[in-house]
Amino acid sequence: MAALTVRALGLEFRNPVVLASGPAGFGLELAAAFDLSRIGALTTKTVTLEPRRGNPQPRLVDAPCGVLNSIGLQNPGCDAFEVDLLPQIRAFPTRRIVSIAGRSPEEVAALASRLAGEQGVDVLEVNLSCPNVHGETVADNPETVRAFVRGARSASTRPILAKLPGEGKYLDLVEAALSAGADGVALINALRGMRIHTETGLPLLDRQVGGLCGPAIFPIALHRVFEARKAFPETVIVGTGGVSDLRGALEMLFAGADLIGFGFAVMADPTRVFRLAQELDEWLTKRGIADVDQLRGASHRGGIHVR
């Protein structure tokens, strides 16, 4: 048995497997079928102040090696979240990361403040990169990131993760988030993409753009995590984007991720995600590696066989 515990954000995570925000919903359906103590943390679907209906159909469009999603932050709003969902989420035998998003830094602050007194919210993740809502939250510039993260920071003493896009000058965005008080970053969100109907010549998605997720974006996500680790050796990174198996998880750890987010994989094959910590343990044990910590960032220091 290798040690899988990850110490990050002032907390202990049982293992590095994190369900990323979105495909797992609020975890209720998964909790009915799987033992949540087999994962390190669950990230909730993004909560906004007011309820949101999300986008019209179609919300999912196939793409080579992945899918374009356009859910549009459908969620019941903070009131219903606190009353109906949080009491159940609080009882989950794993860490709970609550994803929040707002139209302004003030809205983010209001949400963070609402959740500040709630038990069972281990970490706040500020979603700054949803590609699927109009006129907000794809934070393309450091100023926006800084303002939104400051909003959350001003209202909460909880650990804060900034969920950032993997596009543009993403390292500047990481820098902005950290300088505004984030304790770490989740890299990357789905990448903006589109598809067009070949019979009509019209975009398949109502908003034209959707978020590309799945194995298609894995090498991109891996590279962003690698670069972020190089630039910020000490910060906490949740490496997310197209990881679907043990091999992808290992690569994320080598690139420098502390925790690994699984999004698309939860949609495609949840059983596999819940088996992953065990697979990781077996892999480490077979090689005589005592602690998963030994893998983190190994690509930056000559690999795992050189210390």
Partner 1 sequence: MKRDSSEGLTAAHQGPFFSASSGRLESSAVAGGYARATIGVDHSFVAPRPGQFVLLRLREGPALPRAFSVLAAEAGRLEFLLKLDGALREALGRAAMGTEVVVRGPYGTPYETRIGRDCRYVLAGGGSGIAPLLHFAAAYPELTEDVAFGVRERGVRDLLPGVDIAVEEEGGETADDRLRKRWKHGLGILACGPEPMLRGIAQRYAAEPDTYVSLETRIGCGFGACQGCSVETRSGMQRVCREGPLFACSEVPWLR
Task: List residues near partner 1 by CB under 8 A.
Answer: 22-30, 32-34, 45, 53-54, 56-62, 65-67, 69, 71, 74, 214-216, 264, 266-271
The answer to whether 17 and 276 have CB atoms below 8 angstroms apart is: yes
CB of 184 to partner 1, least distance (A): 25
C-beta of 51 vs 181, nearer to partner 1 = 51
C-beta of 44 vs 299, nearer to partner 1 = 44
User: Is 213 considered catalytic here?
Assistant: no
CB of 274 to partner 1, least distance (A): 9
CB of 25 to partner 1, least distance (A): 3
CB of 228 to partner 1, least distance (A): 25
Residue 4 Cα to chain centre, angstroms: 19
Beta-carbon contacts of residue 297 (< 8 Å; ≥ 6 apart): 229, 233, 254, 255, 256
CB of 273 to partner 1, least distance (A): 11
C-beta of 35 vs 291, nearer to partner 1 = 35
C-beta of 76 vs 181, nearer to partner 1 = 76
Catalytic residue among 65, 78, 130, 213: 130
Dihedrals phi, psi of 102, to nearest 5 degrees: -145, 165
**What pairing do the DSSP bridges indicate for beta strands 60-63 and 66-69?**
antiparallel
Residues designated catalytic: 130
